[in-house]
Amino acid sequence: MKRPSTFPITLQQIRDAQLRIAPFIRKTPLIRCEDLSTQLGASISFKLENLQITGSFKLRGATYKILNLSEAERERGVITVSSGNHGRAVSFAAGKLGLYALICMSETVPANKVHRIKSLGAEVVTKGATYDEAEAHALNLQAQKHLTMVHPFDDPDIIAGQGTIGLEIFEQNPIINTVLIPLSGGGLISGIALALKSLKPDIHLLGVTMERGPAMIESLKVGKVVGVVEQPTLADALVGGIGSENAYTFQIVRQLVDETILVSEEEIAAAMAYAFHQENLVVEGGGAVGLAALLSGKVHDYGKNIVVVISGGNVECPLLCSIIQKNNHPSKSMGQNPSKEYEP
């Protein structure tokens, strides 16, 4: 039984975050998936952060971080590095509070995500072929412009903000046994884990990510932070390393997450198509990895009440249409691969 112990983010801080960000975010629904529930003989629910105001969970942490800035920090403005969703969240929150925001992104970020960030009034700089190269440029600009960094995941305020999802899940379904959560830098799963393990220590938490460049899982394997080579993936929101100076999320994930699962590009594509066909949901690749793990039969001994966190829905229409067309009849049998492959 895993229980939070020495981390600098407490359940009370997560509750404070829930109160403070409430005027700026949407309490997202938890819906039961009847089709999957019938197939698995369990109650399967989706936590729909793809319906968050900016299309992903990132708005929670970004808002709480910015609300906690000093007046001097607010006057100077903020900067961040993002693969898309975090940048959009920072832009939205900064705009609501009247702050200048500079968003650094790699040149591989989908155009729709860049456009949406610019439309919110932030300045966008694209630099480098990878997330890590964009991050290095962001750190240089931060020093030059004296801006405050809003870290995408490894920050107590960010983690506490994302943890409000855990509070909502418990309020909406206190009898849950298992939660499947997308895993990247670890801010989302760390916050949810701190909240849920505090409220229900015997809950089973699974972190799910793509096979291509799973930085956190590779780090967990060797017991220290390691770098990975970024690769093209449908789960573009999950790309990037966890930071050589990682101070929080690696240790939280290491202590509180019970299991990790890798899913293939084909399995992610099948999950995106399944969400559209069966639940009328638009889900991006990174947001679909938990569902992909269920559909591919990679989740075992999951109990009778399962929640899948659908973390985002910011996917380009042509890409989603292509995936839907290639998966017109997604398999409804657990453990089967989709009939057609998808290569990003």
Helix or strand or coil: residue 170? helix
Q: Which of 58, 65, 197, 298 is catalytic?
A: 58
Establish whether 96 is a catalytic residue. Answer: no
Please give the torsion angle defined by the CA atoms of residues 267, 57, 126 and 238, in that order, rounded to the nearest 10 degrees. Answer: -30
Residue 5 exposed, middle or buried by CB count within 10 Å (0-12, 13-18, 19+): exposed
Nearest to 320 by CA among 282, 289, 278: 282
Other Cβ atoms less than 10 A from the Cβ of 287: the count is 34
Report whether 209 contacts 236 (CB < 8 A).
Answer: no
Residue 77 has a CB neighbour count (10 Å cut-off) of 18
- Identify residue 158 by its one-letter amino acid code: I
Distances in Å between the Cα of 272 and the Cα atoms of 170, 233, 241 are: 25, 13, 24
How far CA 37 is from CA of 26, 170, 206, 332, in Å, comes to 26, 19, 18, 12
Give alpha helix (H) positions in 152-241. 156-172, 187-199, 215-222
**Two structure tokens written together for 42:** 């369990």
Is 254:220 a contact under the CB 8 Å cutoff? yes
CA distances from 273 to 18, 85, 291 (A): 32, 21, 11
> Rounded to the nearest 5°, which phi and psi values hold at 267?
-70, -35
User: Known catalytic residue: 45?
Assistant: no
Q: Cβ atoms within 10 A of the Cβ of 128, count?
A: 18
Exactly one of 184, 219, 296, 311 is catalytic; which is it?
Answer: 311
Residue with tokens 């890798």: 262
DSSP 338: P
Catalytic residue numbers read 58, 311
